[in-house]
Structure 1
Amino acid sequence: MFTDYSLITEEAKVWIYPSSRKFYPNELEGIENKIKTFVEIWKSDDENFKASYKFLYNRFIILVADDENSPLTNADIDTSVSFILGLQQEYEIELLDKMNACFKQGEYVQYKDLKDFKKLLKNKAVTAKTIIFDNLITTKLDFENNWEIPIEESWYNRYL
């Protein structure tokens, strides 16, 4: 059942899907409607299940599921991954590639594969202070406190 994000507990599970490109202005309303509709019907037969989403920087899809009173099954997770796979195909984007780096350059969010990101670090095009998105976090608490952090404070710091 769709629940306002602010009402979801800090222990809720989070999945972050970074898009390989920014969504175009003519795609924004459609993609957000699809995400909200999915969250509304995801486990809709379970009145104890609470889920929400965020769609940030026209690039990140964040699904949030409070499964404290209604545990998620493998089938429930498979349903969400199938939804994401459908979006990938429809919008011709990559959402499931976790071997990439998303970081801020000024007001823009950049998406680079890890090999290219390492080159940027080597060439000092990005620094230890550059804000990076840690898309591997798994809880709402971590999302709110540790998603956008300097590279030096992230797991990417091993490449500095």
Structure 2
Amino acid sequence: MLTPFQELSDTSRLWIYQSDRKFTEEELPKLEQYLSAFLEKWTAHGAALNAGFEIKYDRFIIIALDQTQSAASGCSIDTQVRFIQDLEKEFEVSLLDKMNVTYIQNDRLHFKPLTDFKKMAKDGAVGKKTIVFNNLVNTKEEYLEHWEVPAIESWHSRFFK
């Protein structure tokens, strides 16, 4: 069951899929249509799942699931991953590769492979205060409070020692 993202509980479980490029203005309505159709029909053991989504910075797909009525099962999570894989093919993007970092520098979003970001940290090209996107957050509340944070306040901090 599709629910507006803003109406979902702050305890909702969260998945963040980071694209290796921005979605275009032409692609965004189609992406929203696909996400809406998928979440409208998404179930776990036949029970409708109360979920919503938002797209941030034309690059991140955030799916939230209010598990107070029905929780995600292994099969429903597998279904979500297959759906994301279909989006990767449809839009020719990478959404499941976790070995990349998106950060803000000079008021612009930048996307780098993790190895490049690590080298940039070592060389001082990015710093402890560089805003990074912590895609490891697990709930809507964590997303709202701890997703865009200085690198030193996220798992990225290990690159600044």
Secondary structure of the structure 1 residue equivalent to 2:29: helix
- The one-character-per-residue Cα deviations of 1:26-74 (angstroms, maximum 9, x if unpaired) are 2111112111221111129535x31000101000000100112212111
TM-superposed CA distance for 1:23, in Å, is 1.1
TM-superposed CA distance for 1:130, in Å, is 0.7
Q: TM-score, normalised by structure 1?
A: 0.93
Deviates more, 1:84-93 or 1:23-32: 23-32
Gaps of 5+ in 2: none
**2:52 paired residue number:** 52
**2:157 paired residue number:** 157
Structure 1 stretches of 4+ moved >6 Å? none
Q: Which amino acid in structure 1 is aligned with residue 125 of structure 2?
A: A
Number of residue pairs aligned between Structure 1 and Structure 2: 159
TM-superposed CA distance for 1:151, in Å, is 0.3
C-alpha separation between the residues in 1 aligned to 2:148 and 2:36?
24
C-alpha RMSD over aligned residues: 1.4
- The one-character-per-residue Cα deviations of 1:100-154 (angstroms, maximum 9, x if unpaired) are 1111123322111111101211222211111000011111110010000000111
**1:7 paired residue number:** 7
Q: Which amino acid in structure 2 is aligned with residue 96 of structure 1?
A: L
**1:145 paired residue number:** 145
C-alpha separation between the residues in 2 aligned to 1:7 and 1:26?
27
Alignment of 1:49-128 (within 5 A): 49-128=49-128
Percent identity of paired positions between Structure 1 and Structure 2:
40
Secondary structure of the structure 2 residue equivalent to 1:120: helix
Deviates more, 1:56-65 or 1:33-42: 33-42
Q: Which amino acid in structure 2 is aligned with residue 16 of structure 1?
A: I
C-alpha separation between the residues in 2 aligned to 1:26 and 1:69?
35
Q: Which amino acid in structure 2 is aligned with residue 117 of structure 1?
A: F
Q: TM-score, normalised by structure 2?
A: 0.93
C-alpha separation between the residues in 1 aligned to 2:66 and 2:12?
4
C-alpha separation between the residues in 1 aligned to 2:57 and 2:8?
21
- The one-character-per-residue Cα deviations of 1:68-110 (angstroms, maximum 9, x if unpaired) are 2212111110111011000111111110111211111233221
C-alpha separation between the residues in 1 aligned to 2:143 and 2:33?
22
C-alpha separation between the residues in 2 aligned to 1:70 and 1:98?
27
Secondary structure of the structure 1 residue equivalent to 2:26: helix
Gaps of 5+ in 1: none
